[in-house]
Structure 1
Amino acid sequence: MADPLFSVRGLKVALPDMTRKPLIGRAPMAEILKGLDFELPRGSVTGIVGESGSGKSTLGRALVRLLEPSAGSIIFDGRDITHLPEAELRPLRRNLQMIFQDPMSSLNPRRTIFSIIAAPLRQNGFGDNLKGRVAEALQRVGLPLSFASRYRHQLSGGQRQGVAVARAAAFGSKMVIMDEPTAALGVKESRRVLELIVDVKKRGLPIVLISHNMPHVFEVADRIHIHRLGRRLCVIDPKQYTMSDAVAFMTGAKLPPEAALAA
């Protein structure tokens, strides 16, 4: 892949296994990610699917360095971020945002939506015409300017997702990782989030969509990584394979074709 945004080689992540923790002492470590190799392109939506326990969310957290890799390397936009200290990671995370299932906790309860989106604009040197810039950021995610005076508790789950993406765009992020963004939403709100993902991609902001909802991933993703038991099995084009194929690959009922394994 020419000029990937992410290049990951031999990535391993081990976490304490609390199910085996003794009464005294530390829990033994369990390897969650078992040597992943892949690249993520610019300007596209990459879906990551797998059964519960396959390491999908762990991978997302490792990519933004909320988790420390135990082995391997993570190259983001040409820079090795595998073992960067926290002081160097903070400015980097403006370019690399992770949005969780409900971003409620990442939105300051004491700040209005206007203030939440305006803060990164000021930090990035766009303090002029803040009202217009915030209005544009909200419009991009399908929210009216009237929402700027609201607080996080006054928004629905889908609307909070939109604000989180608007803030990421205001930061000038180069990639957004969304972890189960529709899991707690109803049909209408899920539809809003999927439309948001498509619109954001059209504007050139790449997205990694981590989800157990296969129909949603097939609807918006350009490529789908299928994971099982901490390993990446294959990469498929959703236009060439069905959801039934993906489930069969994921569960081991069917072997992925060689072309998908080599992707």
Structure 2
Amino acid sequence: MNTLTMLGTGSALVTRCYNTCFAISTPGATLLTDAGGGNGILCQLRKAGMHPDGIDFMFLTHAHTDHIMGAVWLVRTAASSLRGGRRHAPLRIFGHGRALGVLREMCMLLLSGSDRAVLDRAVSLCEVADGDVVTAGQTSLLCFDIGSTKEKQFGYRATLPGGSTLVCLGDEPFNEHNRPQAEGADWLMSEAFCLYADRERYRPYEKHHSTALEAGRTAASLRARNLIVYHTEDDSLATRKERYGAEARTEYGGNVVVPDDLETIFL
């Protein structure tokens, strides 16, 4: 059985939910995408019934604080577990050179000497380029550059055990250049910073983000079978499912999922 657990669903400055990150669990392996903005990732994993030592692979999309800072805590945990004999294989972290370089520099500056001493045994930093295909257990990941003008960022097309596909577009609007990688996915993950109806309040376009309306339009254009909307503001959590879903459905006739933190989706 393949599942996706949304450990966090919020954008950078949220305080009522955790920053966007999620775990894909397949038979024999767990892949974490990003880790949020701090050691809250450890709390979210615990709440989800997951342990950091059970994370086999990680995909780091980019080096913004709300995506990369939590990775430092996972590296620290991996180093501690290796020294304590609880981890026997390194945590493999996929990412482009810029993101992995930032992560390594932060770890060298912030971790203890004992953790730094085992860093290269506890963690394997696996650099990927646009178009590379890597494997995470039985999952194949086609990595692609989303063409961000703000911060170098990669997404991926995952082919899961059993053959279903999931596309992570990153946390910026869809780039038409990525249509070959994104089209026809069973599951499309698209950021939606806010509702189109609230665009004057949140100004998503100034932040290189989109709305639930555009997420629905993108899903329809790419002929996705299911749409997962995430990376939102946190003022509307009580009504987010209903309102974001309704707005996305004005442009898209497929299944729309607007998950809460810690919600599990069966893929």
Q: TM exceeds 0.5?
A: no
Q: TM-score, normalised by structure 1?
A: 0.35
- Higher CA-based Rg: 1
